[in-house]
Amino acid sequence: MAIYLDYNEWKSGVASWLDTTSGPVFENTGVYIALAEQELDRVMTLRQSMRFATNVIDNDGILTLPDDFTKMKSVITPVSDVSLEAVTIDQYQTMRARSNAADGQPLYYCIIGEKVQFIPLGTGYEVQIAYYRKAVPLSTTVPENIYTKYAPEALLAAAVMYGFKFAADEERMALWAQQYESLVDKLNKDAQRGELGSSPLKMRSASRMPTHRRGI
């Protein structure tokens, strides 16, 4: 449930929590909201912010990430329904050198800047990615976004935290930072539980009971 109805109400609401009606702290409420959105983009894993995209790996074994990308959830090659394993940049470079840039169905991926690179290269392979997206920033023409709808308290706490940081009020900034971190932790845990709860059930083969031989 939204706390405020549009961008101007959000700015007024943040100013109210900061207890300011004029001056530099008041005039920068929009900046605090923007910083809060960027912070939430970095740490939040809301189910509602997840998106899916399908693309084809180019000749260099590279895939360009979507413009609204923040964090990867999964990468799959649908031809064999294989989920690729993420590796670090160091691991990728070592594996790339050992494989001598071999082509073929990719098994591993690494995010470098705004690109996804694969081992093997996977030239021409189709891949499906699931990722968490950035929120569309609030503005006079954007009255709501994923955070105002699904994480409004965290957005407010982060914006007020940045406001007190700008005001050099370290004591109140620390209190709001603690509140913000607690809200984000709860929302992320709730989202994780929701994802697990919505996953399809997989049947497991029954284990055979051991056969006991009776003594003669």
How much of the chain, in percent, has pLDDT values that exceed 90? Answer: 78
Label residue 127 exposed, middle or buried (CB < 10 Å: 0-12, 13-18, 19+). Answer: buried
Confidence at 197, pLDDT banded by 50, 70, 90? low
Phi, psi of 135 (to 5 degrees): -80, 145
In whole angstroms, give the CA distance from residue 15 to residue 51. Answer: 33
Asked whether residue 211 carries a pLDDT value surpassing 60, the answer given is no
User: Quick one: tokens of 153?
Assistant: 């308290």
In the block, residue with structure tokens 């084809």: 56
Domain limits, the chain: 7-44+151-193, 47-132
The pLDDT value recorded for residue 43 is 95
The pLDDT value recorded for residue 4 is 95
Q: What is the mean pLDDT of the chain?
A: 89
Handedness of CA 157, 159, 162, 167 (dihedral sign): negative
Q: Is the pTM of this model over 0.85?
A: no
The pLDDT value recorded for residue 155 is 98
In degrees, rounded to 5, the angle at the alpha carbon of residue 213 between the alpha carbons of residues 210 and 214 is 140
Confidence at 209, pLDDT banded by 50, 70, 90? very low
Contacts of 209 by beta carbon, 8 Å cutoff, 6+ apart? none
User: Residue 74's beta-bridge partner residues?
Assistant: 130
Asked whether residue 27 carries a pLDDT value surpassing 80, the answer given is yes
User: For residue 120, is the peptide bond before it cis, meaning its omega torsion is within 30 degrees of 0?
Assistant: yes
